[in-house]
Structures are given as C-alpha cells and as structure tokens.
C-alpha cells in the first residue's frame, strides 16, 4: 500500500479480482457527523460465495538459519530501503506543476454602509488582538476526538485480543482446557504481573514462534473472526516478521494483508509499522518522532476546492532536512486519509467521476506536539471561516470536529485578509433595535423571560444553556433545564468545568502560598503590619443561564447538535471581536471556553443564523467584509 510498508501483500497481491460495476442509487445526505464509507455505498444484494473469499497469504513454517533466540531474521540483517513503488498516488505526490483550486472570498450580500450620524463607537471594529499571555484555562485543547487528544496513546482495534492470543500461546494465560474451578489469575498473580512489567523474554518469543510454526504458520486471533497471527516474509524486502493477517477491501476486491506487530516489549500495536525494518515499531515507539500538520485536497478534483486538515506523528532521522521530512510524511498521506471516516465517506460520494487521490497543499513539522496542535487549530479554524463564507469556488471541507484557535487573533486576522475577507462589527445595535431581533433557530428563546423558570424536562425536548463569568462564556445543550449539577467537576473535562477547576486551584494555591509566608514571618518574629504578601486571588463566579428549548425527538439529536454548533461559533466570533459578558455589567473582554466544534454540521447558509444569534445575545451585528488590499 502506498506510504505504508506494513501492508506487504500490496506489493504482490495474492488474488486480483475485477471489481463489479454496480449501478449506484441516489441518496440524500443529511448534515451531521461523517458516516462510515461502508454505510454510504449501496448494497449490491449479492451474497458472498466461497469463490469471492480472498486467499490467505503465504506463511513461513520454519525459521531461517542463523537466527538468534527469539528472532526471525538471521544475525546481521539490516533495515531495507523503504519501498517507493510507482502508483497513481506517488505520481500525484511528485507532480511539481500541481496547484490547488484557487479560492477567495466573494461577498454575496450588499455591504451596508452605516451613516456617520448613526455610527457608534465600536462600529467598523475588527478582530482585537490580546496583548497578554493566554491563561491556562483558555489554552487550545482537543477534547472532541479521542485519537487526537494531546499526549495520549490510542490503542488500536483488537490489540487486547492480539495480546491475549500471544500470551496464551506462550503459556502465560490459562488454556481453555483449564479446569473451571481453578482461578489461574488468583493462583499465579506474579506470572501475569511479570509479563506486564517486562514483556516477553527471548525464550518466550522463541516459544511463540515455534508454536505458530507447529500450527502451520497461522493462528486464529481469539474473539476476532477473520484475524490471524502469521509469520510472513515480505515479498519486497525478504524480511520475516510476526504479522497480523486480516482481510482488506481494495478497489472492490477483498484481499488479505499482513501488518507487522510492534517488537517493543509489552507492545502489541500494529499501527504504521514498516516491512522494511528488521524490528518494526509502531508509531508510538519509533525513534525521533515529528508531528506534522497537513492540509490535504483531492488531486483529481478541479470543479471544487476540497480541504481536509490532519495532525499525525511519524519518524525521521534526527538530522533530517525539511525536504526529507516532507518526503517521509507525504508517503503516509494515502494511509492516513484512508483511515479517516470523513475521507472514506467522501470517497463513497455517488457522482465522483474519478477516484479521489489525497495531495497535500501545505505541511508543517514540529518536534513538540502542543505546537502542532496550535497549528492544527489555526489552519482548521481558517477552514471553518472559508466554509461559512461565500467564495470564488465551491468548497468541500471534510473536517468534522476541530479545535478552535485561541491566542492567535492577529494571525487569524492576517490570514483571513489574505483570503480577501475580514471579520468586523457592522454596527452596535441600539436597545430598540436589539429588541426586534428574533431567535434564529427552531424552538423558544427564554433567556430573561418568565418562561425560563417554568421549563420542565420533557421527552423529545432539549435545552440550550450558557455558563458565564466576568471573562468567559460557554455554550452547550442538555436534556434537562435543571443546572444544579452542571458544574460538578467529577467526570467532566469540558471547557466550563476545566475553567472552574483551574481557577479554583489557582485561588487555593495562592491561599497556601500566603499561609506559608505568614507562618514563616511568625516564626521569625516579624511584626504582621510590616509584612507584605501577594494579593489573594478569587476564582470568578460562574453562573449558568437557560437560553432556549427545542423540540427534537431524534435519537441522535442532530437538530440540537447543529444549533449548539452555531451557538459555539457565535461565541467564538464574539471572542475574536472583543465582546464582553452581555449580562454582567463592567465585565472584562471575554473568551469562549468551548474548545472544539463540529463544523461538519454547518455550511455557508449557517453564517446568517450565527450573525443573528450574535445580534440577539450581544447586541452587535458581525460581518465578513470584502478586504481590499492597498
């Protein structure tokens, strides 16, 4: 497979089957989180037959000569050069003349000029850069998607079953024939604990390989039908590895692929291992990791701009040049994209004339993951505004949930202007004008009205709320209008509860600091009135407000989640434009504490509703204005 050496069977497929041409059915695609490609493709209605089943890969049944104990390749075997086969993807990657579909902002509405006699102080103001360090509670986070959370290692599918199978083969887990009245885990806890701490020894690896050889080179993975552990020789490199064999769909045909298992002790992962390495390592254990943020488009699509933002980790030599980093990461594009639900869903689009080929538009490499997350948030937030705006070309943004960008107000303003637009305040509404603004979403707006106190939980009804302090706001939804447990910290990691946890800890730390200084001065006999201490800190008061309700009997609550996404974007726009808490007088310039948003739920038609909600809640009318360069 292009860009991933672990799929050795892609070099020499065991069986080639011509894909059947299926007449595709029309379908209605609703807004919402991306669906799997499997669900997007029409059912052929054909039942699989033995002739359609893929053939297994060739396996090794004896060990090569001159191998050390617990190893599969002869002593002195070295890593091979990574395969660079010529494919449509590699040809697209090496096309030096490629240019992405150009895009720039085009205003789709008449930009109303506010007369001088009507103008108020903030009319015409744009994005406000904050000349302060971004506090911890406002830092960029990625809490919307588990496989992109900062500093986490994500366990691949079936890893626990692979581990269980391997341990059983070497005798560290009871066999199924063990008498049921003997609790082996209780009888031999040290044996299991030792494995967890040290991993398999050379002797235990040798036992594992010999047991697989004894069973013909292939062993079923427990509780994973169609998965096998095999000892397989890569046809391109000749290196032999312990592999996971599983069926893989390729252009309509099902073939078996071999994926190397990580050779790091205690690790049973298989993601991004390479068949060119004598001792393959998964991406978490490869040396010299770099974190890459990449903007990808469809190389074959010229009628529309396709954009998709990715953050992933790879391994390069410690002294690698930027060109080498580009080459190494470019080879992974196809593999990375093929594992993303939104890209797979796009590839299943009914009217595509050619097979999508991912091609990078931009690449940024970092040694620090937090810096990569910062760049991802910046690029994907710009992509969000492109999706909301009207442009010179249609746009398909494949991003699903994105981390919103904070602390880079000046950079966002500059990039939007490069695209021909700027975010500004069109006008500050008078109180009379604000009273005329209608709630733009389905449901009833109850903030500040007597109806807010009368809301009751009801099946098929959802509720929207905001949580605000003197310098923050947060938007969300719930199934109940009762907020008494909303800010309980246990089990919650959303932006509002993180704000509460951080600010309360800061207050407690200052109290301890002052108490320690006072204790020291008492012990030294210093007069209290002559001592100077840091000022105490008080965690801001956080107040929840019920905003609105919505009739939504859908189990997935898609209508509700779409409204929530628009409210979150409205709150982010308010942060960029330097708004304050509209309910609490004399508040500071505020920040949104919503860390992520599902932009798959919005489109260019959503911008008008977002602006109307900003007008209703803050009393300002925002606009995306055409930016004219001098």
At 43-73, the pLDDT tens digits run 344 444 555 678 899 999 998 888 999 999 9
Pairing between β-strand 305-315 and β-strand 289-298 as defined by DSSP bridges: antiparallel
Determine the pLDDT at residue 426: 93
Residue with tokens 């050795």: 8
Phi and psi of 538, rounded to 5°? -120, 120
Determine the pLDDT at residue 121: 63
Determine the pLDDT at residue 173: 63
Determine the pLDDT at residue 159: 92
Q: Cβ neighbours of residue 524 under 8 Å, at least 6 residues apart?
A: none
Query: Any idea what DSSP says for residue 428?
Result: E
Q: 3-class DSSP state for residue 344?
A: helix
Strand partners, 229: 219, 244
Determine the pLDDT at residue 399: 97
Q: Report residue 441 as tokens.
A: 């979403």
The angle subtended at Cα 444 by Cα 438 and Cα 29, nearest 5°, is 90
Determine the pLDDT at residue 13: 39
pLDDT in tens, 428-455: 999 999 999 999 999 999 999 988 888 8
Determine the pLDDT at residue 235: 87
H or E stretch including 255?
Answer: strand 253-260
Determine the pLDDT at residue 277: 87
H or E stretch including 246?
Answer: strand 240-250
Determine the pLDDT at residue 1: 37
pTM listed for this prediction: 0.78
Smallest CA-to-CA distance from 577 within 565, 591, 566, 587 is with 591
Pairing between β-strand 218-220 and β-strand 472-478 as defined by DSSP bridges: unpaired
Q: Cβ neighbours of residue 111 under 8 Å, at least 6 residues apart?
A: 623, 625, 626
Q: 3-class DSSP state for residue 104?
A: coil
Strand partners, 464: 477, 548
Strand partners, 397: 307
Determine the pLDDT at residue 560: 97
pLDDT in tens, 478-518: 999 987 777 776 667 789 999 999 999 999 999 999 999 99
Positions of the chain with pLDDT under 70: 1-52, 81-86, 109-122, 143-155, 173-198, 250-252, 489-491, 630
Domain boundaries, the chain: 289-421, 429-487+542-630, 488-540
Determine the pLDDT at residue 32: 36
Residue with tokens 């059912």: 43
- Report d(CA 355, CA 251) in Å as an integer: 10
Q: Cβ neighbours of residue 607 under 8 Å, at least 6 residues apart?
A: 388, 389, 624
Determine the pLDDT at residue 616: 98
- Report d(CA 448, CA 251) in Å as an integer: 58
Determine the pLDDT at residue 144: 38
How many residues make up the chain in this entry? 630
Contact 342, 398 (CB under 8 A): yes
């Amino acid at each position: 497979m292009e860009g991933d050496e672990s799929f050795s069977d892609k070099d020499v497929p065991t069986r080639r089957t011509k894909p059947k041409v299926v007449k595709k059915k029309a379908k209605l695609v609703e807004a919402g989180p991306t669906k799997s490609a499997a669900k997007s493709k029409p059912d052929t209605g054909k039942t699989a037959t033995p002739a359609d089943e893929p053939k297994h890969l060739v396996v090794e049944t004896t060990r090569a000569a001159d191998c050390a104990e617990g190893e599969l390749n002869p002593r002195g075997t070295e890593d091979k050069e990574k395969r660079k086969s010529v494919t449509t993807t590699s040809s697209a990657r090496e096309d030096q003349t490629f240019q992405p579909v150009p895009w720039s902002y085009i205003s789709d509405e008449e930009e109303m000029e506010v007369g001088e006699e009507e103008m108020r102080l903030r009319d015409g103001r744009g994005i406000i850069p904050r000349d302060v360090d971004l506090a911890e509670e406002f830092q960029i986070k990625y809490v919307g998607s588990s496989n992109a959370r900062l500093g986490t290692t994500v366990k691949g599918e079936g890893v626990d079953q692979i581990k269980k199978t391997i341990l059983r083969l070497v005798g560290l887990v009871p066999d199924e024939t063990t008498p049921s009245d003997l609790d082996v885990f209780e009888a031999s806890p040290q044996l299991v604990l030792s494995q967890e701490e040290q991993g398999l020894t050379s002797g235990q690896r040798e036992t594992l390989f010999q047991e697989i050889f004894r069973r013909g080179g292939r062993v079923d993975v427990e509780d994973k039908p169609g998965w096998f552990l095999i000892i397989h020789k890569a046809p391109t490199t000749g290196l032999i590895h312990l592999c996971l064999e599983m069926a893989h769909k390729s252009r309509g045909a099902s073939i078996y692929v071999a994926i190397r298992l990580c050779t790091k002790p205690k690790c049973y992962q298989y993601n991004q291992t390479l068949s060119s390495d004598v001792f393959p390592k998964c991406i978490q254990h490869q040396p010299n990791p770099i974190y890459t943020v990449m903007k990808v488009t469809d190389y074959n699509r010229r009628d529309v701009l396709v954009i998709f933002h990715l953050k992933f980790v790879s391994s390069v030599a410690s002294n690698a040049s930027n060109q080498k980093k580009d080459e190494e990461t470019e080879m992974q594009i196809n593999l990375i994209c093929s594992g993303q639900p939104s890209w797979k869903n796009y590839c299943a689009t009914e009217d595509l004339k050619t097979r999508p080929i991912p091609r990078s538009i931009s690449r940024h490499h970092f040694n620090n993951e937090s810096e990569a997350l910062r760049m991802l948030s910046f690029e994907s937030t710009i992509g969000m505004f492109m999706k909301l705006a009207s442009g010179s070309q249609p746009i398909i943004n494949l991003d699903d949930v994105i981390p919103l960008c904070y602390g880079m107000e000046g950079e966002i303003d500059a990039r939007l202007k490069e695209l021909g637009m700027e975010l500004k305040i069109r006008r500050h509404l008078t109180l009379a004008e604000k009273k005329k603004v209608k709630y733009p979403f389905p449901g009833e707006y109850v903030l500040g009205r007597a109806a807010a106190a009368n809301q009751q939980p009801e099946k098929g009804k959802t509720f929207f709320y905001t949580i605000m302090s003197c310098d923050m706001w947060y938007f969300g939804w719930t199934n109940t209008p009762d907020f008494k447990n909303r800010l309980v910290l246990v089990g919650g990691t959303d932006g509002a509860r993180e704000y509460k946890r951080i600010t309360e800890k800061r207050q407690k730390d200052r109290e301890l600091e002052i108490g320690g200084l006072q204790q020291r001065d008492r012990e030294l006999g210093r007069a209290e009135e002559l001592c100077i201490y840091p000022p105490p800190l008080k965690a801001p008061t956080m107040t929840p407000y019920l905003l609105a309700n919505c009739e939504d009997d859908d189990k997935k609550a898609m209508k509700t989640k779409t409204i929530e996404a628009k409210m979150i974007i409205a709150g982010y726009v308010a942060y960029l434009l330097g708004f304050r808490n509209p309910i609490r007088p004399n508040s500071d310039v505020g920040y949104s504490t919503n860390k992520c948003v599902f932009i798959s739920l919005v489109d260019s038609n959503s911008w008008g509703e977002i602006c109307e909600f900003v007008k209703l809640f803050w009393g300002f009318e925002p606009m995306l204005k055409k930016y004219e360069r001098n």
